[in-house]
Homo-oligomer: A and B are copies of this chain.
Amino acid sequence: MESSLAIETNTFRNLPEEKRQRILEEAVKEFAANGYQKASLNTIVKRLGIAKGSLYQYFNNKQALFLFIFDRLTHLVKDTVKRSVSEGEEADFFEQVRRIIVSGINFIDSFPAYYQIYLKVLFEPDVPQREELIAKVRLFSMEFFAPLCNAAQGKGQIRHDIPTSLVVFILDAVVDRFLQGYAKPYLDGGLNLSAKSPQGLEEDVNMIITILQDGLCLQKGE
């Protein structure tokens, strides 16, 4: 049941499922490879073997096609994160952080092209409604981390001499970079994340969590 404010055309909605998927798949590939501006509708229609006019009967313009795809992206993220996190509702603070990272890895594995699009949007200046789009996806990490931190401070699980905003900032920085490094090897700082086995990844994640917990200094118990 689509709303009447749908960004896509009735014509597109009435298309046979198979064709609709083919079109989206190809468009996602193109946007993932080239970002918004450099993505070429000519290339998309050429690869699909359909006329350009047809594409313009499915979506009013390039922007509409892109926004439709990004909307799917946010839904996919939402679902993936929820699935990974909702299980451990009452878990320890750092366990929940760990789950967020794992769900991020899962998302990248499941929908690498969509994650590419997210990265592109993040750093491409003139994608339409960029800030809103980023905010939509970030809502999960931000709106998720902030209450998590507050709760943890309440429960005495983390220190309260540091503002929540700074804690969230550090968590977000490390998590984001870890995922970026997993998707883009040249950003992993030599960790070689993309080539690691699930076990190897888990070890790295656990050590990162350990550092976040106890810091880089020598521990008293050692």
Interface size of A in residues (CB-CB distance below 8 Å):
56
* Interface residue A108 (Cβ < 8 Å from any Cβ of B): no
With known contacts A142-B190, A167-B211, A169-B189, A159–B123 Cβ distance under 8 A: no
* Interface residue A61 (Cβ < 8 Å from any Cβ of B): no
Q: How would residues 147 to 167 of chain A score, 1 for a CB under 8 Å from any chain B CB and 0 otherwise?
A: 000000000111101110111
Please report the C-alpha to C-alpha distance between residue A210 and residue B217 in the assembled complex, in whole angstroms: 10
Contact among B35, B159, B219 with A125 in the assembled complex (CB-CB below 8 Å): B35
With known contacts A119-B123, A212-B216, A217-B213, A169–B186 Cβ distance under 8 A: no
Stretch at the interface among A2-10, A21-29, A79-87, A173-181: A173-181
Please report the C-alpha to C-alpha distance between residue A207 and residue B174 in the assembled complex, in whole angstroms: 16
Q: How would residues 70 to 112 of chain A score, 1 for a CB under 8 Å from any chain B CB and 0 otherwise?
A: 0000000000000000000000000000000000000000000
**Mind listing 24 A-B residue pairs with CB under 8 Å?**
A33-B125, A34-B125, A38-B126, A120-B125, A142-B189, A156-B218, A157-B218, A158-B217, A158-B218, A159-B217, A162-B211, A162-B216, A166-B211, A167-B211, A169-B189, A170-B208, A170-B211, A173-B189, A174-B174, A177-B177, A212-B216, A214-B214, A215-B215, A220-B220
